Structures are given as structure tokens and as C-alpha cells.
């Protein structure tokens, strides 16, 4: 399952690009569901989130069960860059972050995968193995939000 998750992470930037690169501005401003984030915000959110995840991997590999710093994803998604910046910035960022992340993940040993970090909300301990699966799921989850919107609106 780890190899499958890593492959999903490796392919994710290209899948995202192929899904949204052709969308027009008004389509990028469409929420994926009523009251939800726009397509633009989702693309920026995934890049921001996976950037944070990459840093968490590095902390866990270099410190003993570090207490990570969380971020307010809802507030980040409402910052002006997430609301108006071209999605190409985050598509490019996602490509680079995932290239570095996948390179790192492919070199992890069994003992590395057992290393962990602690999230301060509830003091939840997360192993690196679990975090690989979490971010494969996370990227696929938001991809499905956008994919469903494109299907619903006949934007293909």
C-alpha cells in the first residue's frame, strides 16, 4: 500500500494540471459545492497543505516526535493569493513539492516510516507511514471535488 500511495503522490500534480488547466476564470471562481471553496482555492489549498506536509516529514526525520505547528487552512484559503492568484503558481508548486516529497519517500527505511510527529490539537501522534496515506487521500479527495464539479457542469 505504501508504494501505491507514493505512486498516487507522484502522479497527482499531472492529474491536477490535466483536470483544471483549461478552465476559464469564471469556472475557477465556481465553488465545488454550495458554500465551499472555489476551484482556485482548492488548487491553492492542496499546494499549501502538501507543502506543510513535506515540512512535517522533514521534522519527523530530524527530530524525535516533534510537536508540529498547525496552520488555519480556512484562513489560508481566504487570503488574497488563494482567492485571486493564477492557479499555475500552485500547479507548479505542487509539481516541485511532490517531486521532492516522492524522492524523499522512496528513500525511507522501515524504521523511518515508523517515525512520527505530534499534532497539538488532541496531541495526535502520526507516523510517517500514516502521513503518506493521509496525503494521498487528501489530494485524491480534493481532486474528486473538482472532478465532480466539472462533470456536473459539463466542463469537459
Given a contact cutoff of 8 angstroms between Cβ atoms, the answer to whether 93 and 51 are in contact is yes
Rounded-to-integer distance, Cα 108 and Cα 50, Å: 18
The pLDDT tens digits of the residues spanning 12-61 come to 999 999 999 999 999 999 999 999 999 999 999 999 999 999 999 999 99
- Model confidence, pTM: 0.96
Which residues have CB under 8 Å from 62's CB, separation 6+? none
Q: Which domains does the chain have, with CATH numbers?
A: 2-152 (1.20.120.450)
Amino acid at each position: 500500500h505504501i508504494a501505491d500511495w507514493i505512486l498516487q503522490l507522484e502522479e497527482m500534480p499531472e492529474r491536477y494540471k490535466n483536470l483544471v488547466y483549461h478552465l476559464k476564470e469564471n469556472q475557477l471562481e465556481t465553488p465545488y459545492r454550495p458554500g465551499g471553496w472555489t476551484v482556485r482555492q482548492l488548487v491553492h489549498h492542496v499546494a499549501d497543505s502538501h507543502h506543510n506536509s513535506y515540512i512535517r516529514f522533514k521534522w519527523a526525520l530530524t527530530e524525535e516526535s516533534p510537536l508540529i505547528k498547525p496552520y488555519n487552512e480556512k484562513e489560508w484559503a481566504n487570503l488574497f493569493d488563494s482567492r485571486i492568484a493564477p492557479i499555475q503558481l500552485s500547479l507548479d508548486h505542487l509539481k516541485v513539492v511532490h517531486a521532492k516529497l516522492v524522492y524523499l519517500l522512496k528513500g525511507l527505511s522501515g524504521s523511518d516510516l515508523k517515525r512520527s510527529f505530534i499534532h497539538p490539537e488532541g496531541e495526535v501522534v502520526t507516523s510517517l507511514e500514516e502521513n503518506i496515506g493521509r496525503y494521498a487521500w487528501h489530494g485524491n479527495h480534493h481532486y474528486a471535488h473538482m472532478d465532480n464539479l466539472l462533470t456536473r457542469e459539463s466542463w469537459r
